[in-house]
A = this chain, B = another copy of it.
Amino acid sequence: MELTSVRIEIPEGANAILGQAHFIKTAEDVFEAIVNTVPGAKFAIAFNEASGPCLVRVEANDDELRAAAIANAQAVGAGHLFVVLVRDAYPVNLLGRIKDCYEVCSIFCATANPVEVIVAETKQGRGVMGVVDGTSPKGVEDPAEAQARHDFVRKIGYKR
């Protein structure tokens, strides 16, 4: 078994959501979950079929994101992985619905940060062990920084 690190390429201004699912219908169901929640979102989902023809299955309404989602799904190469790339919507808007999709097992990360996926490779194939999502913490917020955080989520309207 070998462990390697695969960098996810996130196009400018996009967010990535990576998860594990289990059926080719994932592509359509995650597509519908997103468009029914934020109709104006531009996005793509690529899902790695893991038996039979073993094709990357894709639904998208944006060509650049489509190509990038496919490239990331292939680079990781893990069976039943899905990669969502989305612009004009944020993971916080979409995650609840994606988690509720019938085929979705779990979400590895949701982020606009640089992401490295740690992959185990065996004779059989590849699997996601975990992700390095952005940068490690450099300190703890002090009271003024906590207040600024509190104010920020209210300034953008997400909390009252």
The answer to whether B129 touches A55, judged by C-beta atoms less than 8 angstroms apart, is: no
The answer to whether B158 touches A132, judged by C-beta atoms less than 8 angstroms apart, is: no
A93, B114: Cα distance in complex, Å: 30
Residues of chain B within 8 A of A38, CB atoms compared: 37-38, 93
Which chain A residues (8-33) contact chain B, with CB distance < 8 Å? 19-20, 22-25, 27-28, 31-32
Copies in the complex: 6
- Interface size class, chain A: 35 or more
Q: Which residues of A contact B (CB under 8 A)?
A: 1, 3-5, 19-20, 22-25, 27-28, 31-32, 35-40, 48-51, 53-59, 61, 70, 73-74, 77-80, 90-93, 95-97, 99-100, 102-114, 116, 118, 120, 122, 124-141, 145-146, 149-150, 152-153, 156-160
